[in-house]
Structure 1
Amino acid sequence: MIDYSPLFRTLENTPLDHWLDDLPQALDQRLEDARRHGDLPRWQASLALLPEHRPARVELDPCVRIGSADELDEQQQGRLLEGLKGLHPWRKGPFELFGVHIDTEWRSDWKWERIAAHLDLTGKRVLDVGCGNGYHMWRMWQAGAALVIGVDPNLLFLTQFQAVRRYVPEAPVWQLPFTLEELPEPTAGFDTLFSMGVLYHRRSPMDHLLQLKACLRPGGELVLETLVIEGDDQQCLLPEDRYAQMRNVWFLPSVPLLERFLRRCGYDQVRCINLNRTSTQEQRSTEWMRFQSLPDFLDPQDPLRTREGYPAPLRATLVARRP
């Protein structure tokens, strides 16, 4: 598993140094518990297939591209492909490792390009809540962040992150296998916080927004991306059961109502920087994610509706400041 000792040293003498009281033990316990996960041995075996090699180059824009095909021999290329395929499904990306292109379910680079011009991460301490396999964390580092920490309890995503990080071990980019609630209290420890694709999975969206605010220093910035609906500040969709075949979708507010949520939680300078209807080119099944995806979740007679009859996915990104 990941050696977190460099992260612990980085946290010393920062607003997060109190994490050192509990985080090492919590990580040990989490990783010990993880060893009992039924799929983890298979994922770790796939990870072990990846060849040890120092890449000649690392590029992070727009694809996270590490090394080139001519750096590995035929046997190493075979092991690399087998190992990466063993970590299916790959949801967020794209990635390219030594010439092997991982065409992920989501074109996450499109989302990043829509919001990057509105952000200044230079020298910032960043937290990414619900970071998935870490694709956006690499883009945050590329955009100038001094430290990027992501949290996501999914062990497959953690293993995919490990597959990339093993080739850039010096990067100040870390993934912790926890939910936000399981972290030590990150009181005012971050300059910028991302919550992308998380809010609509929360039964209590206001509580989530308050938790996020507590992580930010005064003057810190929240970048919030979530599903929304069209409408005025009185409109919110609460699905009866599933939304686009997802069971764990609770609240889809309009943008004006979401802006009110943020203001009521004590944020200021609230603004919507992007509104985008998700296309079947941005989210779809691929060789690297062979399960159903967005085209299967939409009404085949009306792509502007989900199979349940709700409005098709519309995503907004808002930026807000903790005063």
Structure 2
Amino acid sequence: MNKLLSSWLEQSYAALLGTPLSHWLETLPAQMKHWASQELHGEFNKWCRLLDKLPVTEPSRVDLLQSVTFGTQQDVNDYTRKQIEGLLRQFMPWRKGPFFIHGLHVDTEWRSDWKWERVLPHISELSGRTVLDVGCGSGYHMWRMLGHNPSRVFGIDPTQLFFIQFQAIRHFHQDDRIHFLPLGIEQMQPLNAFDTVFSMGVLYHRKDPIQFLTQLKHQLRKGGELVLETLVVEGDEQTVLMAGERYAQMRNVWFLPSVAALKVWLERVGFINVKLADINHTTVEEQRATNWMESQSLADFLDPQDPSLTIEGYPAPQRAVLIATRA
């Protein structure tokens, strides 16, 4: 295990001590040791070396309430800013964001700030709570959560590039309340301890959505809050679309329920007070190619003659946010 990875994990373990999550330490170190012993991405060690070259800076401004901003343009000289940009570009594609680092705009594929602004008015106050973000991507929403003063925010996502991207951003603001662990939910023991669990943009990637919802429930304490965002379709309690080989060119999309069906699923696995917080159609302004994510994006995945449909003929992406309480 390389030194940087070991350091990141040790910081995460330390953050669990003396908290309602401390029993996670019964399994987590062995899991991480096993993970590190497996074949990592071919670029992983190179990414770590590049991270180690990021310049040490002193941000004069930190904003997590209106954006994810660390520092200003005046904090660093042009050479240092170009050095930061050159290194961060080594970790492309950047999908979730945006981030602002010393005046550098990391213009990600997704305007994840728009989603956060839609979700925020409907969730419980995060101050003092322990929070888990399942499928956290590069960690954008974790930073926005941190802006509301939780006691701890943990994100899990098995994608190694996202893990590296998170560490790159954290380099500029090393708050000991926020941590990323390269895990999938299926690898986690039932902690029954988090006050709030977020899962945004994951459910439709799961072959067994009921099992996934049950796994989310088992991370929450009784009375804890689930914030679930996923693709949905129009319909009644029996309506579920199972996509064919691809949906909007994504191969790993399985079940798209109606909001009514999703409410039934949540109630069946043990959630109460299920309510719809938000529903909207994803636009090509919210998800698009940029010079930080240069491959195809949503505009390429819609029917050019009828953008209300995907290129395969399914309803275009519509996303709903549901809030529920663990009984």
Same fold (TM over 0.5): yes
Distance 2:180 2:190 in 1: 15
| Aligned with residue 173 of structure 1, among 154, 157, 178 | 178
> For 1:178-203, what per-residue CA distance to the aligned partner results, in whole angstroms no more than 9, with x for missing partners?
101122x1421100001110100111
| Aligned with residue 54 of structure 1, among 47, 55, 58 | 58
Verify: 1:207 aligned to 2:211, yes or no: yes
The residue that corresponds to 1:152 in the other structure is 157
The residue that corresponds to 1:232 in the other structure is 236
| Aligned with residue 164 of structure 1, among 159, 169, 189 | 169
Distance 1:218 1:195 in 2: 18
Identity of aligned residues (%): 50
| Aligned with residue 114 of structure 2, among 93, 106, 110 | 110
| Contact 1:46-1:87 at 8 Å conserved across structures | no
The residue that corresponds to 1:242 in the other structure is 246
With over 3 angstroms needed to count, the CA separation of the structure-2 counterparts of 1:135 and 1:192, relative to structure 1, is same
Distance 1:24 1:52 in 2: 29
Cα displacement (A) at 1:44: 2.3
SS at match of 2:52: helix
Alignment of 1:123-134 (within 5 A): 123-134=128-139
| Contact 1:58-1:67 at 8 Å conserved across structures | yes
| Contact 1:129-1:150 at 8 Å conserved across structures | yes
The residue that corresponds to 1:135 in the other structure is 140
| Aligned with residue 289 of structure 1, among 288, 293, 299 | 293
Distance 1:157 1:98 in 2: 21
| Contact 2:154-2:179 at 8 Å conserved across structures | yes
| Aligned with residue 105 of structure 2, among 101, 104, 109 | 101
SS at match of 1:86: helix
| Contact 1:226-1:315 at 8 Å conserved across structures | yes
**RMSD of the alignment, in Å?**
1.4
SS at match of 1:244: coil
Cα displacement (A) at 1:11: 1.7
The residue that corresponds to 1:273 in the other structure is 277
| Aligned with residue 19 of structure 1, among 24, 38, 45 | 24
**What one-letter code is carried by the residue in structure 2 that aligns with 1:160?**
Q
Distance 1:271 1:4 in 2: 36
Distance 2:122 2:262 in 1: 19
Distance 2:175 2:216 in 1: 28
Distance 2:247 2:11 in 1: 41
Per the normalisation by structure 2, the TM-score is 0.95
Distance 1:157 1:6 in 2: 18
Judge which range, 91-100 or 64-73, deviates more. Answer: 64-73
| Contact 1:16-1:186 at 8 Å conserved across structures | no
| Contact 1:46-1:82 at 8 Å conserved across structures | no
| Contact 1:68-1:97 at 8 Å conserved across structures | yes
The residue that corresponds to 1:28 in the other structure is 33
Cα displacement (A) at 1:138: 0.4
| Contact 2:23-2:191 at 8 Å conserved across structures | no
Cα displacement (A) at 1:45: 3.5
The residue that corresponds to 2:306 in the other structure is 302
Cα displacement (A) at 1:32: 4.1
The residue that corresponds to 1:311 in the other structure is 315
| Aligned with residue 48 of structure 2, among 21, 44, 49 | 44
| Contact 1:48-1:83 at 8 Å conserved across structures | no
**What one-letter code is carried by the residue in structure 2 that aligns with 1:107?**
R
**What one-letter code is carried by the residue in structure 2 that aligns with 1:63?**
S
Judge which range, 203-212 or 164-173, deviates more. Answer: 164-173
Cα displacement (A) at 1:146: 1.2
Consecutive unaligned residues in structure 1, runs of 5 or more: none
| Aligned with residue 262 of structure 1, among 251, 263, 266 | 266
**What one-letter code is carried by the residue in structure 2 that aligns with 1:79?**
Q
Poorly superposed stretches of 4+, deviation over 6 Å = none
| Contact 2:15-2:176 at 8 Å conserved across structures | no
Cα displacement (A) at 1:246: 0.5
Per the normalisation by structure 1, the TM-score is 0.96
